């Protein structure tokens, strides 16, 4: 198991029931299976914390799927030969927690991560049964690794997008690992220091528990109350068929 002693003990001492919570982790590495993803290494710590608490955790790697770019629900209607996105979107709608994992390249989140966010954005005009954006009532977080710097910058873009789409962001919902400036081992490499980095391990632990706390609270509350945040009631002159998802 990926957990250290402190992480295990926190799971053992937990008294809250999370067995009705579902979580999806999407690894946005650029690498194709079966290449090793260092980002997955840190995602596995968070997944293990949730799984130890009996959360139903699913983990996918975006590059295992055929996902064209675009901002529409099904890109086969817009000139692309295939589109696995509808399957992934369905998974997201069924979960209570979403965690996006990404490597850092040139200081930025991966293009695969950007594409996943664009596709999620493409469906932001859809509503839940309360008339709120479809992603309301879910908790979101992110996990970032690299051997160059940029954890916080990548976190800014990802968490901003998630809250803008309707997710709730609990405290300290980002965690990551980078080495010292310059060449060096990646997270899962021997002697990277990543697995023993107390700061990284603490942050991924706090993040995981705060996602649990927030998902529990949102589920017990029936999501975000439906007042003052329903688009149809506001009737902002939605423009169906508008290219920008927010304005449809």
Q: Which of residues 126-155 bind its own copies (CB under 8 A)?
A: 132-133, 135-136, 147-153, 155
Piece in contact with its own copies (CB under 8 A), picked from 19-27, 89-97, 116-124: 116-124
Among 170, 188, 195, 215, binds its own copies (CB under 8 A): 170
Task: Decide: is 69 part of the binding site for its own copies (CB under 8 A).
Answer: yes
Residue 132 to residue 180: CA distance in whole angstroms: 43
Nearer residue to its own copies within complex by CB, 87 or 152: 152
Name which of 25 and 167 has its Cβ closer to its own copies: 167
Interface of this chain with its own copies, residues 228 to 247, rule: CB under 8 A:
228-229, 231, 234, 236-237, 239, 242-244, 246-247
Give 84 or 149: the residue with its C-beta nearer to its own copies: 149
CB 101 within 8 A of CB 143: yes
Residue 35, helix vs strand vs coil: coil
Contact region with its own copies (CB under 8 A), list: 19-27, 85-93, 207-215:
207-215
Q: Which residues contact residue 114 at a Cβ distance below 8 angstroms, ignoring those fewer than 6 apart? A: none
Residue 79 makes contact with its own copies by CB under 8 A = yes
- Under the binding rule (CB under 8 A), the answer on residue 43 touching its own copies is no
Minimal distance, residue 171 CB to its own copies, in Å: 4
* Number of chain residues interacting with its own copies (CB under 8 A): 102
The closest of 90, 87, 109, 89 to 100, measured between CA atoms, is: 109
Q: How far is the CB of 144 from its own copies (least distance, A)?
A: 10
Surface-to-core class of residue 196, CB atoms within 10 Å of its CB (0-12 exposed, 13-18 middle, 19+ buried): exposed
Its sign, for the CA torsion 61, 161, 224, 170, is positive
Please state the closest distance from residue 97 (CB atom) to its own copies, in A: 14
Contact positions with its own copies (CB under 8 A) in 18-37: 30-33, 35
Contacts of 177 (CB under 8 A, 6+ apart): 42, 144, 145, 146, 151, 187, 194, 197, 200
Give me the least distance between CB of 20 and its own copies, in Å please: 16
Nearer to its own copies, 91 or 164 (CB): 164
Stretch that binds its own copies, among 17-25, 83-91, 93-101, 218-226 (CB under 8 A): 218-226
Q: What gap in Å lies between CA 82 and CA 107, rounded to an integer?
A: 31
Which of 212, 105, 207, 122 lies closest to 161, judged by CA? 122
Single out the residue of 26, 99, 186, 215 in contact with its own copies (rule: CB under 8 A): 186
Residues with Cβ < 8 Å from 236, sequence gap 6 or more? none
């Amino acid at each position: 198991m990926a957990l250290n002693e402190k992480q295990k003990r926190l799971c053992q001492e937990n008294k809250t029931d999370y067995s009705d919570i579902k979580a999806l982790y999407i690894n946005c590495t650029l690498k194709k299976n079966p290449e090793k993803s260092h980002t997955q290494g840190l995602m596995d710590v968070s997944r293990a914390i949730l799984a130890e608490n009996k959360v139903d955790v699913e983990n996918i790697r975006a590059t295992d799927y055929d996902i064209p770019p675009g901002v529409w629900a099904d890109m086969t209607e817009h000139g692309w030969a295939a589109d696995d996105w509808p399957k992934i979107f369905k998974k997201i709608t069924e979960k209570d927690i979403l965690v996006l994992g990404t490597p850092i390249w040139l200081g930025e989140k991966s293009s695969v991560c950007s594409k996943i966010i664009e596709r999620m954005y493409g469906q932001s005009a859809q509503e839940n049964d309360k008339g709120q954006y479809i992603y309301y009532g879910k908790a979101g977080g992110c996990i970032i690794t690299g051997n160059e710097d940029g954890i916080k910058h990548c976190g800014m873009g990802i968490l901003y997008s998630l809250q803008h789409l309707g997710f709730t962001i609990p405290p300290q919902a980002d965690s990551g690992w980078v080495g010292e400036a310059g060449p060096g081992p990646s997270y899962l490499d021997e002697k990277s220091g990543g697995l023993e980095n107390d700061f990284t391990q603490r942050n991924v632990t706090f993040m995981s528990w705060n996602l649990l706390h927030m998902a529990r609270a949102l589920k017990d509350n029936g999501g975000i109350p439906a007042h003052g945040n329903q688009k149809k009631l506001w009737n902002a002159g939605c423009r169906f068929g508008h290219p920008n998802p927010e304005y449809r």
